[in-house]
Amino acid sequence: MWQSLTPFLQNIVLLLTLLAPLVVAGSCVLHGYRTASLTRALMWRYRWANILFVVLIAVSVGLGVGLLAQERGLRQGTALAAEKFNVVVGAPGSDVTLMMASVFLQPSAVPLIDGEVYARIADHPHATLTAPLAFGDSYRGAAVVGTTSDFVDYLSGGLVAGRHFQNSLEAVIGAAAPLQVGEEFDPDHGRTPAEKSEFEGAHTGAGLRVVGKMAPTGTPWDKAILVAVESVWELHGLANGHAPTSENQLGPPFDAAYFPGTPAAIVHTDQLFAAYALQAEFNQASETMAFFPGAVLSRLYRVLGDIRQVISVMAFVTQILVAVSVVVGLFVLTLLFRRQMALLYALGAPRRFITGVIWSYGASLLVAGALAGMALGQLATILLSRILSARTDILITAPLGWPEVHLVAGFVGTASVLALLPALAVGRVTSPADLRG
């Protein structure tokens, strides 16, 4: 029966279940009584203490909610960044390292595949697009990547300004690259500060000129500078992938005899079965490895999933500890208006009415703090997303979802039951004797 429900209905049922303790406790305590006026009076009379409790709850809930939402946003952002990379083929080694280098443009030392291997990949009947990636240079912190104009089109879906590179001295930039169309630049050899200092001025006088700009992709490629792969090979004194008789040729087909090697070949297929067939064929430990970046990310997500469980438990435990602290604070705070409750009792108010007033007062603080915490958590995720997006160059958005709503609902339901303790305590000990003194 549960499996027959849509995900939306499942989330609604779970939400109502988590909030059930609040509804049940309120129904039992408040049935037949109107406590709203007295509750509002208590909230206003001790407003500064109440604000302190609400802020304490909001900070606790906001931190828990923000961390959970941010973890989910990071997973979604990395998955989006790898979406265009169907199959990555490289020399045997670490698939995680090659994925970080080719998909996320992180500086890494990876071995090369030679021209014969690349030719077999490019000529495979299932490959609708094959592009080499040649990286290692940079300019003002942006990676300079050698590839083909077809890959540029495939990656961004077109240019928003200018045109594609047509020779080895032209470049196309990502949407957030530190250059503008029409500018010239000399790339630095290497990506790390140590490499740049060791080979300082290695490419001085290269005079590459930006002729086009890609549309935003929400990936690290937005900060990249893309040039013809022949440009990277020529800058490093290597053959340019074509026979000497093929003057000014740019892009495929490449001549295996003059192919210097490439760290990665990005392969796109039109059908899923074709991607699996190609991956199985080239995933040979002796010569090449082929992998789906999504599959590698899923392994990392399993680790993040374990971390998420730990974060969830820590967040919930933290919130329960805050709720307990608030309940203890309510015990102390109710001593301030114990005489008022005793006066009500002396005037004929039933003990359950007094219990209802105290419980609704405490539950109001908890609900207000939880709602404020949701708002604070959303604000925190927006700020953290911007910081992480700037640091990782991955577009990260982390709106609050059902997991965060369920976490807050569980906190409210549990805390509302705990709020019965000070309410019952005040209701039991209140007597006319409290009017003295």
Domain boundaries, the chain: 9-80+300-435, 87-291
Dist CA 400 CA 406 (whole Å): 11
CA distance 331 to 28: 21
**Does residue 220 have a cis peptide bond before it, meaning omega lies within 30 degrees of 0?**
no
Cross-strand partners of 170: 209
pLDDT given at position 424: 76
Question: What is the distance between the alpha carbons of residues 148 and 133, in angstroms, rounded to a whole number?
Answer: 8
For residue 7, give the 3-state DSSP assignment.
helix
Using CA atoms, how far apart are residues 362 and 322, in angstroms rounded to an integer?
A: 13
**pLDDT < 70 positions in the chain:** 190-204, 285, 303-308, 311-312, 333-349, 426-437
In the chain, what's the furthest Cα-to-Cα distance? 109
What are the percentages of helix, strand and coil residues in the chain, rounded to 5?
Answer: 55, 10, 30
H or E stretch including 272? helix 272-282
Q: What is the pLDDT of residue 437?
A: 47
Provide the pLDDT for residue 192: 61
Residue 435, token pair as written in the block: 């009017």
What is the three-class DSSP state of 160? Answer: strand
Calculate helix-pair angle for 36-45, 351-392, nearest 10 degrees: 60
183 within 8 A of 134, measured Cβ to Cβ: no
CA 341 to chain CA centroid, Å, is 50
162-202: pLDDT as tens digits: 899 988 889 999 988 888 998 998 888 766 665 555 556 55
Query: For residue range 46-80, what is the model confidence (pLDDT) as tens digits?
Result: 788 888 888 988 888 888 888 888 878 888 888 88
What pTM was estimated for this model as a whole?
0.75
**Residues written for the chain:** 437
Closest CA to 97 of 106, 89, 88: 106
Is residue 384 classed as helix, strand or coil in its secondary structure?
Answer: helix
State how far the Cα of 349 lies from the Cα of 346, in Å rounded to an integer. 7
Task: Please report which helix (H) or strand (E) contains residue 170, including its range.
Answer: strand 170-173
173 phi and psi angles, rounded to 5 deg = -105, 155
Dihedrals φ, ψ of 350, to 5°?
-65, 155
